[in-house]
Amino acid sequence: MYDIYNLACDVTQCGIKVFDYFLGYRLPEYICGRGFINRLPQMLKDKGAGKVLVVTEKALIDLGTAKKMLGPMDEAGIEYALFTDVEQNPTSDNVEAGFRAFTDNACKSVVALGGGAPMDCAKAICAKAAHPRMSTRQLHGILRVHKRVPLLFAIPTTSGTGSETTLASVITDSKTRRKASINDPVLIPKYAVLDPELTLTMPPGLTATTGMDALCHAVEAYTNHFYNTKVENIMAVRAVKLIYDNLYKAYQDGSDIDARENMQIAALYAGRAFTRGCVGYVHAVGHTLGGLYGVPHGKAMAILLPHVMRAFGPAVHKRLAELADACGITGSSDAEKAENFIEWIEDMKRKMNIPEKLDMIKDEDTDQIIKWAMREANPLYPTPVLWKYNDLKAFIDSVRE
């Protein structure tokens, strides 16, 4: 039923769509290729990076992945400080500690090495550097930074978040456990290095969930479509096709460098698509699971994606059918193609050992999950169907084990 709430959301989204044309969406300046991490030191020198804060994860130090970047930096005499206190779902405490490391070591720029966690933390550190007196919670929202930030270099070691090309930094408040975004175009990394050799150490499970995260970005952006220009539509379709052709290959054989390279490009395209096109209820609900229960982001996205698309019903049949066409998935009608596309996602999940439904939600948390999801999604996300409290409750009940 269309009511004043729907009208308010529609009016807000129309305003955002007009405002979008003045925001200056862009891709980072990036180099892409095997072994290109060795070019980072010269890039840092050429761009006047000065002393850098390297934000990464302890796991990448232990795996030896970080050494592939830090070794050439050492050889080139690049000064840096290392910050590794980043949780799987980065928190406001992580950001505050990282900002102290940035200032205490008199750093001038930031290098983020890793997946979404180090990149989101690095972006928030840059936001704090622009507004040192503001808390991370105060920076949550849209255009709260709006000020020049330190040079940010993004080096992805996973193929999923696309954070190297997005304006968002998703941070969990350490006190409330609410997961929310800092959104501002100034947080799009200025430079990026996409080296598929850095993704070779990803285990199959991480390959699967990060790849499904990229798929979620592309599918949600394409089915939202209200904010999209031709650029976002093209990038979303290209990302889906690359994932269709390469994700399971990378999962089966982690040494398949061609599949790894294509997945990096897919994540980049998908990230650019949703930077303007936005995500939807998959992310709005999924973020609450990360904040409350520490569920890895990609796993939450993978579980929720087909359920949300199926729940949208006819509102997404045409757009999903177009994605099915791009992948060569057939059907006698848009509805059948859409269903076959969703079934492909579910089949991929089964083959990659991703659970079908959620098993962590506690009854006492359902109300909080719904309120946080609504606060994130409505009215910002131009979802194909607007869900209110009862809609979200019915959906969550349907996907719980």
Length of the chain: 401
Q: Is 192 left (phi over 0), alpha (psi -120 to 50) or beta?
A: beta
Whether 205 shows a pLDDT value over 90: the answer reads: yes
Domain segments of the chain as ranges: 4-18+203-398, 33-199
Pairing of strands 179-183, 168-172: antiparallel
Largest CA distance in the chain: 64
Tokens of 128: 């704090």
* Topology match between the domains 4-18+203-398 and 33-199: no
In angstroms, the CA 74 to CA 101 distance is 19
For 353-387, letters b (16+ CB in 10 Å) and e give: ebeeebeebeeebeebbbebbbebbbbbbbbbebb
Whether 347 shows a pLDDT value over 90: the answer reads: yes
Burial of 234 (0-12, 13-18, 19+ CB in 10 A): middle
Place of tokens 């007009």: 18
Give the mean pLDDT of the chain: 96
| One-letter amino acid for residue 70 of the chain | L
Annotation: CATH topology of 33-199: Rossmann fold (3.40.50)
pLDDT digits (tens, 9 = 90+) for 314-334: 999 999 999 999 999 999 999
Tokens of 186: 């100034």
In angstroms, the CA 89 to CA 292 distance is 10
Pairing of strands 109-114, 168-172: unpaired
In angstroms, the CA 222 to CA 234 distance is 9
Whether 47 shows a pLDDT value over 70: the answer reads: yes
Mean pLDDT of 105-129: 97
pLDDT digits (tens, 9 = 90+) for 66-75: 999 999 999 9
For 146-177, letters b (16+ CB in 10 Å) and e give: eeebbbbbbbbbbbbbbbbbbbbbbbbbeeeb
Q: CATH code for 4-18+203-398?
A: 1.20.1090.10
Distances in Å between the alpha carbon of 208 and those of 128, 151, 238? 33, 31, 19
Of the pLDDT bands very low, low, confident and very high (cuts 50, 70, 90), residue 401 is: confident
In angstroms, the CA 117 to CA 95 distance is 11
